[in-house]
Amino acid sequence: MFLPFVLCLVPFLFAAGLLVTPVASRSWASFALYGVCLGVTCLLLAVGVLGLAAAGEGAPPQLMRLPLGLPGAGVGFRLDSLSAFFLIVVNFAASAASLFAIGYGRHEHAPGRVLPFYPVFLAGMNLVVVANDAYSFLFSWELMSVASWFLVIAHHRERENRRAGYVYLIMAAISTQALLITFGLLSDFGRVLDFEAIRTSPHAVDIARLAVLAAVIGTGAKAGLVPLHVWLPLAHPAAPSHVSGLMSGIMTKVAIYGLVRIVFDLLGPPEWTWGAGILFLGGITAVVGVLYALMQHDLKRLLAYHTVENIGIIAIGLGLALAFRANGFALGAALALTAALFHVLNHSLFKSLLFFGAGAVLTATGERDLERLGGLIRGMPVTAFCFLVGSAAISALPPLNGFVSEWLALQAILISPELPQWILKFLVPMVGAGLALSAALAAACFVKAFGIAFLGRARTVAAERAVETDRTSQAAMLILVAACVLAGLFPGMVVDALAPVVTMLVGSHLPVQSSNPWLTLVASTPERSSYNGLVLMVFIALSALLPALGIYGLASRKLRRAGAWDCGYPETSSATQYTAASFAQPIRRVFASVVFSASEQIDMPLPGDARPARLTLGMKDPVWTVLYRPLVETVNAAAAVVGRARTLSIRQHLSLVYAVLILLLVVLALWQ
């Protein structure tokens, strides 16, 4: 009974996009539009919560069919626990983004290029998660892609953004093509488009494998699985910051929804090879994503690369869940899938938060480059606090939410030695090591991002003059901070809420957490694995508070202020501080010299030479050089060959057509 509400609310978003178009340049248009979006997404969030609660009490999935779309077929919608969960993920972050944009949107210099597409983008994402046939799924998917493409090229005067839009368009097309193939294979070559029919019909082993491969390519290109991630660090920073938050925080999650829906729900019982493949890709993605992020000093691009890393973590959870389920380990599958879905929620919270923080910094200073920021904590204390909490959460520090989901994923990895296949026996520990490595590197990366941007002294005048962002933007960030903290302190409630989703997909769920004493989270058995965020929080608070009190209470009150030791150089330029590049140098030397073939060239002039000394860094992106450049060159070469046919004479054209005709006739003759 909640599904009709979703289908009634979504048209309001379309109407808002349509109505705002003629008045987009008015000063009140942005306020009104984001207000409407905030209201609608809050209602959709409520529908999601009620839907998930109903599913938890055992309500069956709701189905609806509307006479739209293909003539005769109509479009189907379905609200089950998985859709309800993703409705919550999408609309919580979307309402926060709308609230943030009420303040942030005032700084937009081209509102006519952003306002009409923003609600359509939201509508597309909402429709994807309730679509129940291949046609409506692909239609909403494309709606989401096209609307977000318009948002990416909103500031189209910058050359970089146009390139980002171009690459994004190509990758989105590849994604949809691959999904089209997936549904073609699943639907018995287009005979049954309805998900209900696909779910009940059997699939041959080879067809199912091909379908999984195409689904991983199709959804992975949207979510940012390596090596299909190339558009993501270009496109996400190009959009306005609240849209970057949406694209990174929830559009990638909608892609994950597509993967879960196809692989866990539509295809039926999995094979362990699917799980191994997704696990492998996830491991690579997590490590490579964070290495990319470490090499970045553009704040928004750094965050976009972290999205790649977190998608890898989610994929690790999904791959493990498939491997466990294929081997009949119900609890392991439930644990891994809970970890993945929990991380979906977490990442949507803290990635939106961090992008909003980056947006606040961008409006205050006009800078995205870390090397030109610094000392912002004095001008922007609230933003700094929010960014710090987001950084701690994404770095998986307890007692915040990021820790819980990564801890659950590691718990799932720890019980994997019970898996029978030797490939998995080798692969899973390697992926586990990769997961631990990526968590550590992520922490290093956010120490860099927060430290260089907010601490130290201002490196530019703009950074020195930065003032705090407006109240609504602060409110949006503080709401997300609260959500991160609450999800970290009370993970048992989230795990219990996820139970119906996990039960629907893998047939079992984690033990009910609400009965555990002191809000403890128990993954399998209390002796083997349990975590209590509240106790940890109290411990951290006490262990920090007691020494502080002790120092202030017992130590001498005599305070002496003196200048810092300057190593004998009285130069106090802010350029003498640590930079982002110098902070990342040790890690760059260890990892990037192999992965990115990073090279350093030092040009040190002799004494007496007035030339400045230079350090030049060179890096190559292996994905571009190994995968995409040869691909582009092949396509260009093929186009050149075909292009030659354009200048043939009339008789040669005729001969060409004739030759094809004869060839087809020969094929026909041989075929019979």
Partner 1 sequence: MPGQGLAFDVAHMLAGGMVTVSFMLLFQDRLFALIQFISLHALVLAMALAWQAYIQTAEHLYAAAALALMVKAVLIPVVLHRLVRRLRIERTVEVVVGVGVTMLFGICLVALSVVVMLPVAAKSPLMWEDLSFALAVVLLGLLIMITRRNAVGQIIGFLSVDNGMTLAAAGARGMPFLIELSIAFSALVALIVFVVSLSHIYKRFESADVQALDRFRGDTP
Please choose, out of 297-305, 478-486, 600-608, 654-662, the segment that lies near partner 1 by the rule CB under 8 A.
654-662
Pairing of strands 530-531, 75-79: unpaired
Instruction: Name which position in 8, 68, 637, 654 contacts partner 1 (CB under 8 A).
Output: 654
Which residue lies nearer to partner 1 by CB, 615 or 667? Answer: 667
The 3-state secondary structure of 575-608, one letter per residue: HHCCCHHHHHHHHHHHHHHHHCCCEEEEECCCCC
Which residue lies nearer to partner 1 by CB, 551 or 669? Answer: 669
Is 645 one of the binding residues for partner 1 (CB under 8 A)? no
- List of long-range contacts for 126-129, beta carbons under 8 Å, 24+ apart: 126/6, 126/9, 126/10, 126/13, 126/44, 126/87, 126/90, 126/91, 127/10, 128/254, 128/257, 128/258, 129/83, 129/86, 129/87, 129/90, 129/254, 129/257
Which residue lies nearer to partner 1 by CB, 606 or 650? Answer: 650
Is 666 one of the binding residues for partner 1 (CB under 8 A)? yes
Instruction: Name which position in 15, 512, 645, 665 contacts partner 1 (CB under 8 A).
Output: 665
Q: Give least dist CB 643 to partner 1, A.
A: 13
Which residue lies nearer to partner 1 by CB, 544 or 648? Answer: 648
Is 643 one of the binding residues for partner 1 (CB under 8 A)? no
Structure letter (DSSP) for residue 66: E
Instruction: Name which position in 425, 617, 658, 660 contacts partner 1 (CB under 8 A).
Output: 658
Three-state DSSP at 400 gives coil
Which residue lies nearer to partner 1 by CB, 205 or 650? Answer: 650
Q: Give least dist CB 661 to partner 1, A.
A: 7
How is residue 660 written in tokens?
Answer: 């094809």
How is residue 397 written in tokens?
Answer: 């520090």
Which residue lies nearer to partner 1 by CB, 27 or 649? Answer: 649
Q: Cβ of 368: how many Cβ atoms within 10 Å?
A: 19
CA 620, CA 638: separation in Å to the nearest integer?
A: 26
Is 661 one of the binding residues for partner 1 (CB under 8 A)? yes
Q: Is 587 exposed, middle or buried (0-12, 13-18, 19+ CB in 10 A)?
A: middle
Q: Which helix (H) or strand (E) holds 617?
A: strand 614-618
Is 649 one of the binding residues for partner 1 (CB under 8 A)? yes
Q: Give least dist CB 641 to partner 1, A.
A: 17
Instruction: Name which position in 61, 518, 655, 660 contacts partner 1 (CB under 8 A).
Output: 655
Q: Give least dist CB 650 to partner 1, A.
A: 6
Q: Give least dist CB 653 to partner 1, A.
A: 10
Say how many CA atoms lie within 13 Å of 499 toward its Cβ.
Answer: 18
Please choose, out of 276-284, 476-484, 547-555, 649-657, the segment that lies near partner 1 by the rule CB under 8 A.
649-657
* Amino acid identity for residue 323 in this structure: A
Is 426 one of the binding residues for partner 1 (CB under 8 A)? no
Please choose, out of 70-78, 131-139, 301-309, 658-666, the segment that lies near partner 1 by the rule CB under 8 A.
658-666
Is 647 one of the binding residues for partner 1 (CB under 8 A)? yes
Which residue lies nearer to partner 1 by CB, 640 or 669? Answer: 669
CA 282, CA 319: separation in Å to the nearest integer?
A: 8
Is 672 one of the binding residues for partner 1 (CB under 8 A)? yes
Place of tokens 């720890």: 414
**399: which strand partners?**
none
Q: Give least dist CB 642 to partner 1, A.
A: 17
Is 668 one of the binding residues for partner 1 (CB under 8 A)? yes
Q: Is 563 exposed, middle or buried (0-12, 13-18, 19+ CB in 10 A)?
A: exposed
Is 660 one of the binding residues for partner 1 (CB under 8 A)? no
Interface residues with partner 1 (CB under 8 A)? 647-651, 654-655, 658, 661-662, 665-666, 668-669, 672
